[in-house]
Chain A
Amino acid sequence: MDLARRSLPRPRGIEMPRSPLVAVAVLTAAMVGRAAPVRAQAAGPEQIEALRRELAQLRAEYTERLAALEARIAALPGGAAPLEAPTLPPEAPAEPATAAEVPPGSAGAGGPAGPLPVYGGMGSKVFNPDIAVIGNFLGATGRNDVDPTPSLGMEEAEASFQAIVDPYARADFFVAFGPDGAELEEGFITFPTLPGGFLMKVGKIKGAFGKINTQHPHVWSWTDRPLVNLNLLGEEGFADSGISLSRLVPNPWLFLEATGEVYRGESEGLFAAPRRRDLAYLGHLRAYRDLGESTNVEVGGSFLRGHNDQGPGSTTRLWGVDATLRWRPLRRAIYHRFLARTELMWSRRELGDSAADAFGFYVSGDYQFARRWFVGGRFDQSERADDPSRRDRAGSVVLTFWPSEFSQVRGQLRRTRYGEGTTANELLFQFLFSIGAHGAHVF
């Protein structure tokens, strides 16, 4: 830096940022270094002489070009007054080349010769992660006094970046851009092949509590989060920074997967962790079995415990049970399928000396009746985590159209009876659209 400034002072009258000057100096050094393929430090007197000549030649060229440029500027109509010819200091000689510290690995220091590596060529682009953006546009009509969503809103744009890290891991990032700004929805590294058959995830993760909580909103068959998830797991569900470890439990009968997770214990509307020891713990057991080539059934159990915001030592515990039945005939897999699912959750939230026990569930069914058409229904019921005397209920009918696998248009008629006693009848509609390479979803 110092060297560059000393040897190439800014010509008067020309406003130039400092960094290009530095760049010029470095480039010059690199070029000179390449022209005379010697270790700069070990240069003999005749080599220095050669360098000196070359630099003098460069300097002459440089001065000439600048003068020509100035002449052209002056010749422009209304052009600036001729600038003073740049004068290079008489002693700008080979010193930059001899004294410049060539970083190890760069041209001239035994590193790759040739122009500086330009990142963004084909060679480096192939290692770019798969990038996709999914837009989720949500509209609502009708009246809702308790939990109104905007009439029209770009609810979320989810950007995903996914790639293999190295032979041992892959990484997935999901950044959600919503009305409240950008948020890391998930961002984790997965080690798929740890010793002992473990699969480990580290990062910000959607906790493996039930089914819906782990999924991103764009894969749901509805426009909204079921009431039980909303009331018992918080507005955005349970997602937190933590470590997840899961393993298959070998047995001759079925697919059985055990998952244990540890989290910081901070999730909006659910857990608060002012102290380091206020960790949250999650356990999940998932069983799956094929009932033939078209039909299969999956059952899961979940437990989650963390500290809430009701004072030190005050915890919230949650238990969950989920069951899914799927049918999809293989010969007509792209035309017909059916999925029935239920999730039940119990929450015990300690409020100082007392505790609030709340229960909620949903039951849903989705049927694909044509290649691009899906119809579904859902019934929701849930008490509120901190006030179980308030119980919300809702029923929905959903119709979805897929122009292609990359976009969906959805309408949902929803009738909600809130614990306050008010009823909301709404029509929600949604446009989902995906560009780029979004990785396949876990079943």
Chain B
Amino acid sequence: MNLRLLVPMLAAALLAAPGVHAAGPLNVVTTTEDLAAIAREVGGDRVKVEALSRGYQDPHFVEAKPSFVLKLNRADLLIAVGRELEIGWLPPLVTQSRNSRIQPGANGYLDASLTARILEIPTGQITRAMGDVHPQGNPHYWLDPGNGRRVAQAIAQKLSTLRRDDAAFFAQREADFAGRLAAAEKRWDALMAPYKGTRVVTYHRSWPNFAERFGLNVIGYVEPRPGIPPSPSHTLDLIQEMKRQNVKLILVEPYFDLKTPNAVARETGARVVVLLPSVGGEKGVEDYIKLFDYDIDTLVSAIKETGAR
């Protein structure tokens, strides 16, 4: 009985061997849409890029769906944000992928954070009493265009090792992207220049790189501690602090509930602004430069309308 059932099953599994990956575009899978956007900039038509999570989704809490296993099974390259952002869902997917190319340490696994500038790396003792702290620093580093450029370089290098013949192609595309990004940065800097030092409150600690790059002053968070939902006492403290410092903007990621931010806004006369931490957070925000276009435009018009300083 056992053999009668098992043997055909395994035989069927064996016969249907997966396809060979020699020719055609490289299959690149990224954990977030931001990395996918940058990989597309660099890889052009020589790569096929798919992101596992969506831009309007909390990247800490993605479900490790079996359909992702299928995508990873075919991948030639997996690019992860790193810094333990995906610790809750990526490792079992990689284990189940049955794909030796993308196992940690293999040539087809790229941790994009390795060359990025990382902020908020904790020093001293950390415990979970501090909430969901990331022991290796804040993983939302892609929100600084400088890091976008570094990630693009890392991806270009990695793609070149996987496809040596296309190295020049990737290098040229990477340089082109860096050029466009630099031009866009000038635009963003000009837009933000009058508002340097504007005080804001954010929901989660998603914005340290963005705030540092564009001169925002984050004075508090809706979450009492990273990953811990708002508590009444913390909300009251926050309202007082916002009133004291006359803070007019509350920046919220699209995946958080707006109830508490709205309540705080009512009490303080501030405005809730849904800012996008990722490409794909809204329709039309489909590449890395458009992400900052959207965020800077949204921010600047909110600052103008509220008179925030």
A residues engaging B (CB < 8 A)?
A: 164, 167, 170, 190, 192-194, 196-199, 245, 247-251, 255, 257-258, 260, 281, 283, 285-286, 288-290, 293, 296, 298, 303, 305, 317, 326, 328, 330-335, 371-372, 404-406, 435, 439-443
Contacts and interface: CB of A to CB of B under 8 A. Distances in A.
Given A192-B103, A258-B10, A288-B65, 15 more contacts: A167-B106, A192-B100, A199-B96, A247-B14, A248-B73, A255-B67, A255-B69, A258-B13, A289-B67, A305-B2, A330-B255, A334-B58, A371-B257, A404-B131, A440-B64
A404 B14 contact: no
B57 interface: yes
A303 B95 contact: no
Interface of B: 1-3, 5-6, 9-10, 12-14, 16-18, 54, 56-58, 61-67, 69-70, 73, 87-92, 94-100, 103-106, 128, 131-132, 227-229, 254-257
A281 B98 contact: no
Nearest to B97: A192
B5 A298 contact: no
Nearest to A317: B1
19 contacts: A192-B94, A192-B98, A198-B98, A199-B96, A251-B16, A255-B66, A260-B9, A281-B2, A283-B6, A288-B67, A371-B229, A371-B257, A404-B131, A439-B92, A440-B87, A440-B88, A440-B90, A440-B92, A443-B64
A333 B57 contact: yes
B58 A333 contact: yes
B98 A333 contact: no
B3 to A, nearest CB: 8
Contacts of B131: 404
A190 B103 CA distance: 13
Given A249-B12, A281-B2, A290 B61 contact: no
Contacts of A326: 63
A198 B96 CA distance: 10
Contacts, number: 134
Contact of A260 (B6, B62, B87): B6
Given A190-B95, A249-B13, A288 B66 contact: yes
A234 to B, nearest CB: 19
Nearest to B228: A404
Nearest to A306: B2
Given A328-B63, A440-B91, A283 B103 contact: no
B100 A331 contact: no
B69 A248 contact: yes
A193 B257 CA distance: 41
Contacts of B227: 404-405
A205 to B, nearest CB: 14
Contacts of B257: 332, 335, 371
Contacts of B89: 440
